[in-house]
Amino acid sequence: MSDQVTERAETEQLVAEISRLRAQVAQLQERVEQLDRLAHQDTLITLPNRRGFMRELERLIDRAKRYDHHSAMLFVDLDGLKMINDSFGHRAGDEALIEVAQLLTQGVRRSDVVARIGGDEFAILLENSTEQSAHETAARLVDLVCGSEFTHDGDALPLSIAIGVAMIDGDGTPKAIMALADEEMYRRKAAA
């Protein structure tokens, strides 16, 4: 009898230890997922950051290569953020960034990816997009942001953006596509 009691106690201990280890593994997996989200999400705005955007861009390039369809990247630069920060404070600048992020997100399809890739820079991935529709979307977003009625502490602050477009056909690298969109954005700024 004594051996059975000892065996039962050891089995119960083993089951309890397995249960404890499973709970610990679940907690660690949750923590890894949380850290992954933090590594790929902007700290101010609930959008992907540059790292998260690059991961999505790589996936889109792979899909374009595999399925032979075209997509586009929009490189968005918020004009005058330094002036807003210098004149009204960084809280106003943060609010302007949040406003632009919301407008950009509202102005594209739910399946598109909007990310903040730098201080005053955003990027958008338009899957299954022609060059013409990408330019139309860019023009619509420029109008949307310029037409917004952004205020900070009762002061109306005009917002404007410049957007460059680069097509994704599966041949380019993420770095090359970003550079093309960035160059076009600067050309549009210079022409304005």
Residue given tokens 């953006």 in the structure block? 161
Query: Is 143 noted as a catalytic residue in this protein?
Result: no
DSSP secondary structure of 29-61: HHHHHHHHHHHHB-SSSSSB-HHHHHHHHHHHH
Cβ-in-10-Å burial (0-12, 13-18, 19+) of 126 comes to buried
Q: CA 166, CA 45: separation in Å to the nearest integer? A: 24
Contact 63, 126 (CB under 8 A): no
Tell me which of 120, 155, 169, 171 is the catalytic residue.
120
Q: Determine the length of the chain.
A: 192
Structure tokens at 148: 């917004």
Closest alpha carbon to 119 in 81, 150, 74, 146? 81
Radius of gyration of the chain (CA): 24
Residue given tokens 């477009």 in the structure block? 165
- Could you list the active site residues? 120
